[in-house]
Amino acid sequence: MRLNYAFAALCGLQATLVAAKNTTWPWQTFKSSPHEPPSLKISKSGLTSPGYLFFDQSWDAHQYSVFIMSDSNELVWQSPPGDLKGFRVQKLDGKPVLTYFNGLGVPEPFGWGYGIIQVLDESYQSIYNVSVTNDNYKALGSIDSSSFVSWIDMHENTMTSDGTMLVTGYNVTQADLSSVGGPKNGWIADSLFYEIDVKTNEILFRWSALDHIDQIPLENVQPFYPIRDWGHNSSSPYGYFHINSVDKFQDGTYIISSRYYCSLFKIAKDGSVDWTLQGQTGGDFALNGIKFSYQHDARIHYETEDAFTLSIFDNANSDVQNGTDHTEGLLMNVNLATREVSLVQTLHDPRDEIFSTSQGNTQMLPREHKLMGYGSNPKIKEYNANGTCVMTAQFGFDGVISSYRSYRSPWVGVPKTLPEVFSCIEQGRNKTNVYMSWNGATEHKQWKVFGGASRSDLKPVAVLRKTGFETVASIRESLRYVQVEAHGLGIQKGVSEIIPVKSGC
């Protein structure tokens, strides 16, 4: 497993769109940067919340990376390549940080991973690596795990206000599957979750679904994930539970989402199951106007003593059953006193029916807006307070590209890397073109260009406003060397290297 700990200075410019034989979604290219982010197809019909878009892309993506991009299709920052997921802004010690999974993703029909959660500061430097190094894990039988440095799964990386992080894990282990028609000495993918101290990697809480099979029996999952031929060996374990999110109540208990039980479980401090909210039958609750299945991203909001608001991404589709019910975001009120669950709001764009078979999330935004990332469908949608879709950003063909989760957030990036510059002379026109960019920098507004006949004889030749990720200046003289400076709020190190000008643009 290869993990990227060092982040090089990789920058860019005015975009060129590239498409390979009309089978690949167009991406952007730059003169001053090797980055090639997707070109977002954006439509807006109303005001959106402030902030950039944060997303990963995988499956048949042109580049496996995480991206910060604007609503105007401008790249802000692209990471080095890697199998990266769950990219977002969170807070540690009251300061914004970036977090994401970095490791090895195992594709469907398994759909989990092995790796670390990286925590980056505002300069895009890795400051903490959250990991689980030894908990008697066994990987999928077809995978060589000898070089693994951590066993954390891709599904969760939620930071708490206590400086801890909620993460998940998948352990391939033996279990008795005879109660559901499988082998007595069968194999399952056990779902685990942890609460871990971000700075020390101390495990503060550990939970395993297999340890609580008396409260969450295998028989209950059969209508939604039948055993079929799973479970006969470690290369095809029965992934019956499939944990995909963890959140924490104010009292220190947890809520977890199981994809294949189509259920949410409240986990007490001693690990026992307090209650089950099942998306079709209700479980321990009565459902009022609500149904959900194969859901992701269960989040707690507005807690009171006897109730809370819950948001989920209701896939309503999976590799078992799909194409019948469209995917929605659901906000619901969970009344703990009466054990009733009532619908608050449904998020669905009737102009664009989506059937997401995996992944996805629903994010609460200011002014009661919500953002949805559609997982196996490479789309991001923002809904206003009334539940009307006001923006769609698409970055790939459905079923070809995926993104585990997508978010919107304000962000101030102050990279420690230097701006990048590329320059060339237009032959026969006595004109020098200078292309400049600074991967991850959000605060600079202006570029100053210096040029001359030698490295030691540079003079100011242009001052221009930043335009997008990459800005181009055309200097009406032939230069041999150039250097650029970025200017803006709080910038102290925005000076590029001096580079030679190439002949022929």
Nearest to 422 by CA among 410, 408, 433, 411: 433
Task: Please say if the pLDDT value at position 20 is more than 80.
Answer: no
Q: How much is the pLDDT for 135?
A: 93
Average pLDDT (369-391) is: 98
Of the listed ranges 16-30, 125-139, 356-370, 420-434, the one predicted with least confidence: 16-30
Instruction: Report CA dihedral (165, 166, 171, 176) to the nearest 10 degrees.
Output: 150
Q: How much is the pLDDT for 353?
A: 95
Q: How much is the pLDDT for 490?
A: 76
Task: Please say if the pLDDT value at position 497 is more than 80.
Answer: yes
Task: Please say if the pLDDT value at position 6 is more than 90.
Answer: no
Task: Please say if the pLDDT value at position 462 is more than 80.
Answer: yes
Of the listed ranges 1-15, 171-185, 361-375, the one predicted with least confidence: 1-15
Tokens of 189: 């993918």
Q: How much is the pLDDT for 200?
A: 98
pLDDT digits (tens, 9 = 90+) for 186-229: 999 999 999 999 999 999 999 999 999 999 999 999 999 999 99
Q: How much is the pLDDT for 24?
A: 84
pLDDT digits (tens, 9 = 90+) for 413-451: 999 999 999 999 987 778 999 999 999 999 999 999 999
Average pLDDT (296-323) is: 96
Residue 446: how many CA atoms within 13 Å on its side-chain side? 8
Q: How much is the pLDDT for 360?
A: 98
Topology of the domain comprising 41-409: Neuraminidase (2.120.10)
- DSSP secondary structure of 117-157: EEEE-TTS-EEEEE----S-----TTS--TT-S--EEEEEE
Q: In the structure, what pLDDT confidence band is assigned to residue 504 with cuts at 50, 70 and 90?
A: confident
Average pLDDT (148-169) is: 97
Average pLDDT (165-178) is: 98
pTM, whole model, 2 decimals? 0.94
Q: What mean pLDDT is reported for the chain? A: 93
> CB within 8 A of 105, min separation 6: which ones?
58, 83, 85, 112, 113, 154
Average pLDDT (17-22) is: 42
Given a contact cutoff of 8 angstroms between Cβ atoms, the answer to whether 449 and 56 are in contact is no
Q: How much is the pLDDT for 13?
A: 25
Task: Please say if the pLDDT value at position 8 is more than 90.
Answer: no
Higher pLDDT, 429 or 54: 54
Q: Kindly calculate the radius of gyration of the chain based on its CA atoms and give it in whole angstroms.
A: 25
Domain boundaries, the chain: 41-409, 420-500
Task: Please say if the pLDDT value at position 15 is more than 60.
Answer: no
Q: How much is the pLDDT for 493?
A: 78
Distance of alpha carbon 287 from alpha carbon 306, whole angstroms: 17
Q: How much is the pLDDT for 18?
A: 46
420-500 — its CATH code?
2.60.40
**In this structure, what are the phi and psi dihedrals at residue 210, rounded to the nearest 5 degrees?**
-65, -30
pLDDT digits (tens, 9 = 90+) for 74-125: 999 999 999 999 999 999 999 999 999 999 999 989 999 999 999 999 999 9
Residue 62: how many CA atoms within 13 Å on its side-chain side? 21
Q: Tell me, what amino acid is at 295?
A: Q
Q: In the structure, what pLDDT confidence band is assigned to residue 23 with cuts at 50, 70 and 90?
A: low
